[in-house]
Amino acid sequence: MKHLFIVNPMAGKITGRVNEIVNDIQSFFACNPKLDYTIHITRWKRDASGYTLRYVNNTREIVRIYVFGGNGTFFEIINGAVGLPNVQIAWYPLGRNNSLLYSFGVERLSAFQSLRNLSLSPVSTIDTIKAGNNYMAINALIGGEAAAFKWGESMANHFNLPRNLCYIGAGIVNGFFNRQSQRYYFEMEDTQFQGNFRSVLVTNAPTYGSGLRPAVDASLNDGYMDLYTIASIPQCKLLKVVGDYTQGNYKKWPGYIRHYRCKKLKITSDSIMTISLDGEFFYRTALNFEVFPGSLDFVCPPGINIPVQSGNKARPAETSVWGA
């Protein structure tokens, strides 16, 4: 087995600490000299996608890839790795957001902050979702939810405030001052509908941020994606609805929030959609989604277990790691 470390120097908890982190990795492997490892420090956006694909294609051995960063770094790596038969993904949470790991509980995050755990632990399979030409493992935020996420990130970075507070605050402010909805058209296996909505969430995981759990129905390995549509909310109810929604209590508000499950989904709109795929932003008027069950081998430290699901790991021939 080979061990490949992808270190994003721009990740929130890595900035200014690259040498320290590299020294920690080297020290660990100095005590384990029989292990073959490589460290790659990313140089530009999407560098991790291309480097991962080239590295894995040059060996027949199993490659355990370590994500040293957050959502963005993880997104890049899986877009170079999904569908390759000899790849395992381990995540050392050093980003501003490490949303997938929060699905296991914030209290278990420390289990992923151990090189010993990540190097020795077994893997379980999780689903990924193909969105356009990209793969994601967490969620797609569309419309007002994407805007609120982006504003929340900016507020948290600029004022050094708790991220979850900023996301909720941005969602409320966005609702108060920008009440415009957008018309969306949805096509699933057996359902088609359309309507005006403020936000749309397509997800494979229940969480984003560290304590926000809006998608309580979602599972990492059930072979389905979960769709939540959010209609315009009156200002008098906005605070309560947003609060309940971020904590998974959307069923209290059936007039504003609806939930669907599917394996394939197409979303179109008459105007440009603002789309966040695992924190990376794209803009278009149509996007296709499809679940690929069991397409990613994910390292689970002791005490964390994802039931194994069977799935097809074949990468579709038309997939590109470079475009949305």
Q: Residue 60's domain is classified under what CATH number?
A: 3.40.50.10330
Task: Let me know whether 27 and 87 are in one domain.
Answer: yes
Measured between alpha carbons, how far is 217 from 247 in angstroms, rounded to an integer?
12
In percent, the amount of the chain with pLDDT more than 90 equals 60
Measured between alpha carbons, how far is 139 from 203 in angstroms, rounded to an integer?
4
Question: Would you give the DSSP letter of residue 212?
Answer: B
DSSP conformation letters of 233-262? --HHHHHHHHHHHHTT-GGG-TTTEEEEEE
Helix, strand or coil for residue 55? helix
| Residue 223 belongs to some domain of the structure | yes
Task: Let me know whether 186 and 82 are in one domain.
Answer: no
Tell which phi-psi region holds residue 279, choosing left (phi > 0), alpha (psi between -120 and 50) or beta: left
| Residue 230 belongs to some domain of the structure | yes
Could you tell me which of 88, 94, 92, 138 has the C-alpha nearest to residue 111?
92
| Residue 177 belongs to some domain of the structure | yes
pLDDT, residue 235, reads 81
pLDDT, residue 323, reads 32
Give helix 144-159 / helix 163-177 axis angle, nearest 10°: 130
pLDDT value at 295 more than 50: yes
Task: Let me know whether 172 and 282 are in one domain.
Answer: yes
What six digits make up the tokens of 242? 């947003």
pLDDT, residue 207, reads 86
Task: Let me know whether 19 and 47 are in one domain.
Answer: yes
What six digits make up the tokens of 272? 């440009």
171 versus 116: the higher-pLDDT residue is 116
Number of separate domains in the chain:
2
Task: Let me know whether 164 and 284 are in one domain.
Answer: yes
| Residue 320 belongs to some domain of the structure | no
Contact predicate 124/118, CB 8 Å: no
Task: Let me know whether 121 and 143 are in one domain.
Answer: no
Task: Let me know whether 54 and 150 are in one domain.
Answer: no
Task: Let me know whether 156 and 258 are in one domain.
Answer: yes
| Residue 134 belongs to some domain of the structure | no
| Residue 220 belongs to some domain of the structure | yes
Task: Let me know whether 163 and 23 are in one domain.
Answer: no
Measured between alpha carbons, how far is 169 from 158 in angstroms, rounded to an integer?
14
What six digits make up the tokens of 235? 């200002």
pLDDT value at 208 more than 60: yes
Could you tell me which of 62, 74, 81 has the C-alpha nearest to residue 101?
74
In percent, the amount of the chain with pLDDT more than 70 equals 82
Measured between alpha carbons, how far is 197 from 154 in angstroms, rounded to an integer?
24
Measured between alpha carbons, how far is 104 from 121 in angstroms, rounded to an integer?
16
CATH number of the domain bearing residue 161:
2.60.200.40
pLDDT, residue 147, reads 59
Mean pLDDT of the chain: 85
pLDDT value at 50 more than 80: yes
* Structural domain of 95: 2-127+294-299
Measured between alpha carbons, how far is 91 from 74 in angstroms, rounded to an integer?
8
What Rg do the C-alpha atoms of the chain give, in angstroms? 19
Could you tell me which of 131, 162, 143, 169 has the C-alpha nearest to residue 246?
169
| Residue 304 belongs to some domain of the structure | no
| Residue 176 belongs to some domain of the structure | yes
pLDDT digits (tens, 9 = 90+) for 217-268: 999 999 999 999 999 888 888 889 988 988 899 999 999 999 999 999 999 9
143 versus 201: the higher-pLDDT residue is 201
pLDDT digits (tens, 9 = 90+) for 119-128: 999 999 999 9
Task: Let me know whether 170 and 253 are in one domain.
Answer: yes
pLDDT value at 170 more than 90: no
First to last CA, the chain: 32
pTM for this entry = 0.86
Task: Let me know whether 109 and 235 are in one domain.
Answer: no
Measured between alpha carbons, how far is 81 from 69 in angstroms, rounded to an integer?
16
Least confident of 202-206, 302-306, 316-320: 316-320
User: Average pLDDT, stretch 22-43?
Assistant: 93
Query: CB under 8 Å to 100, separation ≥6 — which residues?
Result: 71, 74, 91, 137, 138, 205, 207, 220
pLDDT value at 151 more than 60: no
pLDDT, residue 195, reads 94
pLDDT, residue 322, reads 31
pLDDT value at 181 more than 60: yes
Task: Let me know whether 43 and 145 are in one domain.
Answer: no
Helix, strand or coil for residue 324? coil
Computed from CA positions of residues 130, 282, 159, 247, in that sequence, does the dihedral angle turn out positive or negative? Answer: negative
pLDDT digits (tens, 9 = 90+) for 97-115: 888 998 888 788 899 999 9
